[in-house]
Amino acid sequence: MSVLVVDAGRVGGQLVSLYGDKPVHDWPGYHHIIAADLAGHLVEHARLLEVEMVGNRKVLDVTRRDGGFAVMARDVVTGEEHHHEANAVIIAIGGGAFEPRRLKVPGEAGLGEDQLTYRMPDRATAAGRRVVVVGGGDSGLESAQSAHEAGGRVTMLQVLDRFTGMETNIDKVNQMEIPRHFNTRVKELELQDGRLHAVVAQTKGAPSPLRLECDYLVVNIGAAVNLDAVKRWGIETEGNQIKVDPSMRTSVEGMFSCGDIVTYEGKYKLLITASSEGAVAANAAYVHVRKPARLTMGELYT
Ligand SMILES: Cc1cc2nc3c(=O)[nH]c(=O)nc-3n(C[C@H](O)[C@H](O)[C@H](O)COP(=O)(O)OP(=O)(O)OC[C@H]3O[C@@H](n4cnc5c(N)ncnc54)[C@H](O)[C@@H]3O)c2cc1C
């Protein structure tokens, strides 16, 4: 089949957009591999299979047309509209078009990427600087490790009374003895001459606010997923996820979904599960489009 991948950002998803420098330890066949390199291999593999891929193009609308779908996308740089026709659509929008959740505190707006990031910290920027990481899930824990390894002086702030990431990530942060404040919420960012100078936070029950001098703030408190568009396309959702059956079919015939955006019992948000679901969705799309009398393994492996 002919395949077009349309991505609102960089083709490669979170691997390149959120944690390009990070080693991935759970991709089969590699003891570890740097995320951006893994994405590069995947993209190159798809290119060799003649999959067409475009970045910076956000899908805004999918409508039914002549038994298939009309897909409308907009170039996020030029604003130009692009129209694509498809017999089947696979929605793999992950955490959405990366609209990270913000702190919504005074001082936050207008700080450059070298002072405030919502991704993993840039290692060169973190080196030798006072780094505050906000968030105690896997993203925050991995950001703290990365900034610490790069030579940053790291402090973590977590709004809950504990970390919520994987045990291995919590263990590493403990081994690194990274200082942390639980039950603590950021209230304000102090600027001096337009540059970030300190983070002011309040710990539950503490008589006075905490003030941490800071040159580089890393905020990893999740992404605000907006599924309004997906709902407009008629797809059934559950919370902030798309509901799929075991063949990765959504509630709309001809539309499939896979990866972080889907939900089903036992779902894990991992690269390997996303890839496995992608294979299932692709085969289900094949069956939908070609309608083979019988789907044999030989047919799939040609
Ligand atoms: C810090 C961090 C570390 C992680 N480490 C690991 C790890 O070590 N091992 C592991 O297995 N997993 C890890 N994960 C999880 C893993 O990255 C995800 O499970 C995986 O990326 C999900 O892939 P996906 O294709 O579903 O979504 P994504 O990677 O989020 O890709 C979705 C793509 O869709 C695009 N998009 C969104 N909306 C639109 C639209 N309207 N039109 C066009 N394009 C759109 C986005 O731009 C994006 O490129 C980590 C996640 C984070 C945040």
CB atoms closer than 10 angstroms to residue 21: 15
Helices vs strands, H then E, count in the chain: 8, 20
Q: What is the mean pLDDT of the chain?
A: 94
Q: Is 45 exposed, middle or buried (0-12, 13-18, 19+ CB in 10 A)?
A: exposed
Band of residue 287 on the pLDDT scale cut at 50, 70, 90: very high
What is the residue range of 289's domain?
4-98+224-301
Model pLDDT, residue 301:
63
- The Cα 188–Cα 191 span in angstroms is 10
Higher pLDDT pick, 88 / 239: 88
Mark which of 200, 219, 238 sits at the end of a domain: 219
Higher pLDDT pick, 192 / 298: 192
Q: With left for phi above 0 and alpha for psi between -120 and 50, is residue 271 left, alpha or beta? A: alpha
Atom number of ligand 1 nearest to Cα 93: 34
Model pLDDT, residue 223:
80
Same domain, 230 and 90: yes
Alpha helices, H only, the chain: 14-17, 35-48, 123-126, 138-149, 167-175, 228-232, 271-290, 297-301
Same domain, 126 and 163: yes
Is 72 inside any structural domain?
yes
Nearest CA to ligand 1 atom 19: 270
- The Cα 34–Cα 20 span in angstroms is 7
286 CA → ligand 1 middle, Å: 24
CB atoms closer than 10 angstroms to residue 196: 23
Q: With left for phi above 0 and alpha for psi between -120 and 50, is residue 12 left, alpha or beta? A: left
Question: Does ligand 1 come within 6 angstroms of the Cβ of 51?
Answer: no
Q: With left for phi above 0 and alpha for psi between -120 and 50, is residue 194 left, alpha or beta? A: left
Is 107 inside any structural domain?
no
Mark which of 194, 219, 244 sits at the end of a domain: 219
Q: What does the pLDDT look like over 222-236, one tens digit per residue? A: 887 778 888 888 999
225 CA → ligand 1 middle, Å: 12
Please give the average per-residue pLDDT across 193-215, as a whole number: 97
- CB-based contact 19:68 (threshold 8 Å): no
Same domain, 42 and 179: no
Is 210 inside any structural domain?
yes
Is pLDDT at 302 greater than 70 in this prediction?
no
Q: What does the pLDDT look like over 148-179, one tens digit per residue? A: 999 999 999 999 999 999 999 999 999 999 99
Is 159 inside any structural domain?
yes
Is 254 inside any structural domain?
yes
Model pLDDT, residue 240:
87
- The Cα 152–Cα 133 span in angstroms is 11
Is pLDDT at 97 greater than 80 in this prediction?
no
Atom number of ligand 1 nearest to Cα 261: 26
**67-76, 95-104, 169-178: which range is least confident on average?**
95-104
Is 285 inside any structural domain?
yes
Same domain, 15 and 65: yes
Say how many domains are in the chain. Answer: 2
Model pLDDT, residue 299:
62
CB atoms closer than 10 angstroms to residue 267: 13
Question: Does ligand 1 come within 6 angstroms of the Cβ of 187?
Answer: no
Is pLDDT at 18 greater than 90 in this prediction?
no
**2-6, 7-11, 209-213, 272-276: which range is least confident on average?**
7-11
Same domain, 125 and 206: yes
Question: Does ligand 1 come within 6 angstroms of the Cβ of 13?
Answer: yes
Same domain, 239 and 90: yes
Mutate to test the pocket of ligand 1, among 93, 120, 146 (most ligand atoms within 8 A of CB): 93
User: What tokens appear for 42 in the block?
Assistant: 């995947």
DSSP 80: -
Band of residue 190 on the pLDDT scale cut at 50, 70, 90: very high
User: Which stretch of DSSP H or E encloses residue 118?
Assistant: none
3-state secondary structure of 256: strand
Question: Does ligand 1 come within 6 angstroms of the Cβ of 59?
Answer: yes
Query: Could you tell me which of 15, 20, 56 has the C-alpha nearest to residue 272?
Result: 15
Please give the average per-residue pLDDT across 286-296, as a whole number: 87
Model pLDDT, residue 135:
97
**What is the domain-level CATH number for residue 281?**
3.50.50.60
Model pLDDT, residue 41:
98
Is 103 inside any structural domain?
no
Give me the sheet containing 81-86, strands edge to edge. Answer: 57-65, 68-75, 81-86
Same domain, 146 and 233: no
Beta-bridge partner residues of 24: 33
Mark which of 219, 237, 259 sits at the end of a domain: 219
Is pLDDT at 296 greater than 80 in this prediction?
no
Model pLDDT, residue 98:
60
Phi/psi at 282 (5° precision): -65, -45
Atom number of ligand 1 nearest to Cα 25: 8
Is 105 inside any structural domain?
no
Nearest CA to ligand 1 atom 7: 24
Please state the pTM of the whole predicted model. Answer: 0.81
Is pLDDT at 93 greater than 90 in this prediction?
yes
Same domain, 91 and 124: no
Unique residue bearing structure tokens 């919502």: 118
User: What tokens appear for 185 in the block?
Assistant: 């919420």
Same domain, 212 and 128: yes
Question: Does ligand 1 come within 6 angstroms of the Cβ of 120?
Answer: yes
Model pLDDT, residue 95:
78
What is the length of the chain? 302
Same domain, 267 and 197: no
- CB-based contact 199:189 (threshold 8 Å): yes
Same domain, 158 and 120: yes
- CB-based contact 256:244 (threshold 8 Å): yes
Model pLDDT, residue 298:
62
Phi/psi at 86 (5° precision): -150, 145
Same domain, 215 and 228: no
Q: What does the pLDDT look like over 25-64, one tens digit per residue? A: 999 999 999 999 999 999 999 999 999 999 999 999 999 9
